[in-house]
Structure 1
Amino acid sequence: MISRRTLLGGLAASAAAGAGLTLASRAVGSPAPVRGRAAGLPLEIVNNSGEFDNASVYVYIVGNDGTQQVRVTPEGELKPVAVADNGSDGFTDYAIPLAGSGTTTLTLPKMSGRIYTSLGGKLKFKAVEDGNGKAALAYPAGWVDSDPNYGVLHDCAEFTYNDGGMYCNTTMVDMFSVPLAIKLTGAKDQTTGLLKDGARDKIFSDLAGVEGFDKLVIDDKRVIAPGHGLGAGRFDENYLAAAIDEAWAAYESKDLKITTNAGTFTGRASGGKLSFTGPASVSFDKPSTKDVLFCDGALAAPNDGTTGPVAAILGAAFNRGTLTSHAEQPTTDPATFYQQKLANHYARVMHEATKDGKAYGFAFDDVASFASYIEDGAPSRFTLTLTPF
């Protein structure tokens, strides 16, 4: 399985200096280079939102072809992002309108990226030059109140489509606003992302009722992930500190066993490090709340087959609140998740809202296959549905 981290790398990792926007970085994978109107995967956009008609919905397909940042035209052409695409207002207009009624059928070229939907207004993507002088795209950052897209309802799904097949997911890693579901037709039919009836309202109300998470609710527009809440002053930067200290203390006197594809690692905490022996020697500094929520910093997961998988499992256990109570990881019983007060209850609420119990509430949510992710080596159609509010 290709995880979201392998799938997209750091697609939305760094901020555009001075712009309050998110600048897309290189998405990994080996897609084909830009070839204009090449054959691609049929992409269907279905508007079942019930709140917005087709004329009020816009689609944006943006990402990377392996060599440069690209966008898809309404005709299915893959074109490189260009600073010259910015209009008189300083922003590009890469919007793809929906058909007048019914299903909109587009063509998805081979690439890695995101399919954004905006409702009630267009998004403002700004083309800029990155540090290497190449054209790049500043993505919407709905958790930044100065972002030009802050007032627009929008959300996205993520994908890589290449010679190996189609790999895709819905995501709440950054925020949740628009209920989206994805269906992949190919060797078999697969669907994920479907919410329970009335779930959007319940997500908002449930988070508003959790102490420490209530400020993550932005009116009726969106709820933002707690990691982004740190930067916005909406979440306590030390929220998980006591839970992290508790786990460190617990494994000073007993073993923590983490099993990956490489084998079983055995760890003990000493001082500021959690050190493991086994298939390889790996160690981790004590993480901060920010490290846990972003699954980065002390819990960064390199694609090395050893440190990376252990970091992912540690990050999932911290977010799910199972690290101290379960000395053998990963835990796979969802009934044990989020039972501790100090856990990522944003992710809990997202999982509770979905029909299949799967969601991407944090970056390591694919551990033990709890992410809203599907793949197919022989895809014939991909469908993105705006589901009822």
Structure 2
Amino acid sequence: MSPAHPTWPRRHRGLLTAAVALLLLACLAVADRTGTPAHAAVPPAPGPAPAAGDPPPASFWGDTGAIPPAQNVLTVQILNRTNGQYPDDQVFWSFGGQTRSIAQQRYVDMPANSAGRMYFHLGSPDSRYSDFIEFTVGPDAFHGNTTRVDAFALKLAMRVHGHDGTDRQVGEDYATFQESREATWQKFAAAMPPEFASLSQVQAPYRIPSPGNVPDFQPGGKHAAYMSDYARSVGRNVSTQEVFGCSGPLAGDAPGCAALNRHVAELPQNQWGDPSRFYRQGPANYYAQFWHQHAIGSLAYGFPYDDVAEQSSFVSVRNPQWMVVAVGW
């Protein structure tokens, strides 16, 4: 009768030990080649890339539940979303005569104010890498926007939340925040027609100015007639610079200026507010079009009257609770 626990011959025990050792070595070799243990699960494939116009996910805005309640009208939090290019002690905000890095102070208890601006700087408090948002804050309301009317310098997005649950997000879209500044800059340059080529060059690497702010489109510039010929064709005697800046005779004509920038002024006026018709033909303000194409919900302020047909990044929230501003690179 065989014993309950048979004793293996020494030769068999040695072969078994060698086999186990070889198996362990094979597993270690696989782990060394792949950087992952042989038995580890394969990580899931990344999800689809964010599409143009998509808002950031909730995680992008951080823990909004930790934002302290305001003693004034609303609490503003500034977030570093530079993809690791700048540490918190090199992300600065300026408002109300104060300048701080977000390492020093990331919350601002904002009082009521009129025609206010908050500036943001990367690198140093007086860096030329600088941009801003603008707003008017009443005792029980916030009205404000991101803006590309003057130029693009830094990626900005803001989220305003009201005590009643109202929640609005505007600014550059999530895909734009995810890519490098160089990629955004190159994407802009590639999207422009030849007449707009200087926009990505004249103030590089700090800013991409709007077309009315570059010499090419100003009186005497090589593209000074770019919009004026089209304007005359629809009965408007205005310069290209006046079209892009909604100035001169267009200063009091928001629908007319918007129609010229979007190249819909030749259409019946009841079609001027149809976004599907905007920028389909040139000449047009392709600078403004680009920022719409890369903005949350396609809403942007690309020229002064871009709020016509509710296409701007303006938000109005009653009884605001907090605002988060993301500063990107």
Question: Same fold, TM exceeding 0.5?
Answer: yes
Q: Which position in structure 2 is the counterpart of 1:313?
A: 255
Distance in 2 of aligned mates of 1:385 and 1:59: 11
Distance in 1 of aligned mates of 2:80 and 2:217: 32
Query: Do the aligned partners of 1:313 and 1:329 also contact (CA within 8 Å) in 2?
Result: no
Q: TM-score, normalised by structure 2?
A: 0.69
For residue 225 of structure 2, the aligned residue among 229, 238, 245 is 238
CA offset at residue 193 of structure 1? 0.7
Q: Which position in structure 2 is the counterpart of 1:322?
A: 264
1:45 corresponds to 2:47? no
Query: Do the aligned partners of 1:313 and 1:330 also contact (CA within 8 Å) in 2?
Result: no
1:356 corresponds to 2:297? yes
For residue 192 of structure 1, the aligned residue among 166, 170, 181 is 170
For residue 97 of structure 1, the aligned residue among 94, 101, 106 is 101
For residue 214 of structure 1, the aligned residue among 197, 208, 215 is 197
Helix, strand or coil at the partner of 1:316: helix
For residue 93 of structure 2, the aligned residue among 43, 52, 59 is 59
Helix, strand or coil at the partner of 1:368: helix
Helix, strand or coil at the partner of 2:243: helix
Letter in 2 for 1:41: L
**Aligned pairs for 1:286-297 within 5 A:** 286-297=237-248
Letter in 2 for 1:239: Y
CA offset at residue 329 of structure 1? 4.0
Q: Which position in structure 2 is the counterpart of 1:205?
A: 186
Helix, strand or coil at the partner of 1:342: coil
RMSD: 2.3
1:115 corresponds to 2:98? no
Distance in 2 of aligned mates of 1:157 and 1:286: 33
Letter in 1 for 2:172: L
User: Percent same amino acid among aligned pairs?
Assistant: 27
Distance in 2 of aligned mates of 1:353 and 1:183: 16
1:228 corresponds to 2:213? yes
Distance in 2 of aligned mates of 1:203 and 1:223: 11
Letter in 2 for 1:299: L
1:166 corresponds to 2:142? yes
Query: What stretches of structure 2 of length at least 5 have no aligned partner?
Result: 1-69
1:376 corresponds to 2:327? no
Q: Which position in structure 1 is the counterpart of 2:37?
A: none
Q: Which has the higher relative contact order, 1 or 2, with Cα contacts under 8 A spaced 6 or more apart?
A: 2
Helix, strand or coil at the partner of 1:348: helix
Distance in 1 of aligned mates of 2:71 and 2:273: 42
Q: TM-score, normalised by structure 1?
A: 0.59
Distance in 2 of aligned mates of 1:329 and 1:104: 46
**Paired residues, what number?**
247
Distance in 2 of aligned mates of 1:57 and 1:40: 24
More helix by share: 2
Helix, strand or coil at the partner of 2:311: coil
Distance in 2 of aligned mates of 1:179 and 1:299: 29
Query: Do the aligned partners of 2:217 and 2:225 also contact (CA within 8 Å) in 1?
Result: no
CA offset at residue 322 of structure 1? 0.7
Letter in 2 for 1:287: V
Distance in 1 of aligned mates of 2:72 and 2:256: 42
Consecutive aligned runs of 4 or more in structure 1 exceeding 3 Å deviation: 198-203, 230-235
Query: Do the aligned partners of 1:203 and 1:350 also contact (CA within 8 Å) in 2?
Result: no
| Structure with max Cα Rg | 2
In the superposition, relative to structure 1, how do residues 385 and 287 fare at CA in structure 2: closer, same or farther (>3 Å)? same
